[in-house]
Structure 1
């Protein structure tokens, strides 16, 4: 499936450009007369965009994927009009960015949920973590908070329930093993694995470094049920003024199709799970 996806990416010419484009990207028309929609991503995950492009062919819409190096960039690029949409974050991350940076962005559709897993090169089980071990987590507010909740669900720490779904290290109320929590930019977590006992790694960065939950995770977050109000469901985001843009809503509809779910399930081996709901 991955080899097939790579070939189809070339066939459909889904351009993956370096971040840093300028100018307003809306309503751009290609030489072939298609409407180009620039979508910002983080990481290398792109296989699901092959069937999405297939689903958009009859609508004359061409997707151009714009790759960003880390989570701090795509929302500002969207707000500045450098891209049309982005598809890299969950609700909690978007709402935190909107509040912290004053961005006028909104979710316009659901995509996937990415279980947050604990990986280690030194341990075979979460039960092998011992007193004083170093555990690395993402350093952004929402993914860091989510990582702490994962460690709590694993029985390693307890956090103040008043902190909600975005606790910080300062909200840890019980740490019986006196674990050293190290906060690191999310994309750097896989490369830090040799230097820590374990790390809580986001799905896209785990995927980019060849980590698989079934084979490599020492603890996996349970997502037996996905509620429609789950703050960790990933989304497609747009500028608020474009929330009802017909072209962009067609992109959402093209994403929320069975052939896209099939590629997600077959390609990512549990790293990502389709998470859209019928209205």
Structure 2
């Protein structure tokens, strides 16, 4: 069962922070997130208040709830998903939620305890990845980009495990496992795709991550994390203020300080381009 666990206003009085007084005219924005406990949101709220926007964070415990909450009007905007996820939601639920600002992308990569570089990975190597088919295409394309697998034909973003041509690939075996076990699998396999949180929990090092995809690849724009609102609120000035604050160097630095350096910010991608990527993705899911 999905539960909304908190809805807290965290606007910080300016007399506490020592900054200039907040505007006497304020607009309230309810923002749905899945990491409301992160300290950087307090800084976002403080800067928003200084510009006349009272930020209320609404915390969600999983990914299935924030979009329906946005559709129903329980929140004004959310920030938890990438464009591909939004495309799937819009197509399956026949909605028209829209991106209103770009955030960060988290490049995926693979780790190894046996090899220190991609060049060292031997012929016939074994790789572990998620057993969720929906989360396999991106690792497969990363393996292709790294020169470790060759596909039969050119499946692109429809690639599956069945498309791997092992006779032409350096990888000899792909083992799908529960993603929570990928870090532990490194004791037995050559390489493994490990989600950043699981990698941190397993204390994997940057040196053990022997490959990371390029966040600048055009085909990865679908994985940019975005602010999302209803179409009618696409030009809401209070939401635009919130997005601009989030994209500031100050907030980027705060996020990196709290969550590490994995996030690559793509605030250079305009909303018009985000919408174009979304439209293309929705065609695939319709």
TM-score (norm 2): 0.68
Q: Per-residue deviation at 1:89?
A: 2.4
- The match for 2:77 among 80, 85, 99 is 85
1:193 aligned onto 2:188: no
1:60 aligned onto 2:50: no
5 Å-filtered alignment, 1:233-272, equals: 233-272=224-263
- Pair member with larger Rg: 2
Query: Matched residue of 1:231: which SS?
Result: helix
- Structure 1 distance, partners of 2:220, 2:213, is 17
Query: Matched residue of 1:261: which SS?
Result: helix
1:154 aligned onto 2:137: no
Q: Which residue does the alignment assign to 2:281?
A: none
Structure 2: stretches of 5+ with no match in the other structure? 14-25, 271-286
Asked if 1 retains the 8 angstrom alpha-carbon contact of 2:127 and 2:171, the reply is no
Q: Per-residue deviation at 1:110?
A: 0.3
Q: Which residue does the alignment assign to 2:107?
A: 115
1:277 aligned onto 2:259: no
Say if 1:229 and 1:201 are closer, same or farther in 2 by CA, change over 3 A.
closer
- Structure 1 distance, partners of 2:177, 2:92, is 19
RMSD: 3.8
Q: Which residue does the alignment assign to 1:3?
A: none
5 Å-filtered alignment, 1:63-74, equals: 63-69=56-62, 71-74=63-66
Q: Per-residue deviation at 1:161?
A: 6.8
- Structure 2 distance, partners of 1:108, 1:81, is 16
Asked if 1 retains the 8 angstrom alpha-carbon contact of 2:2 and 2:64, the reply is no
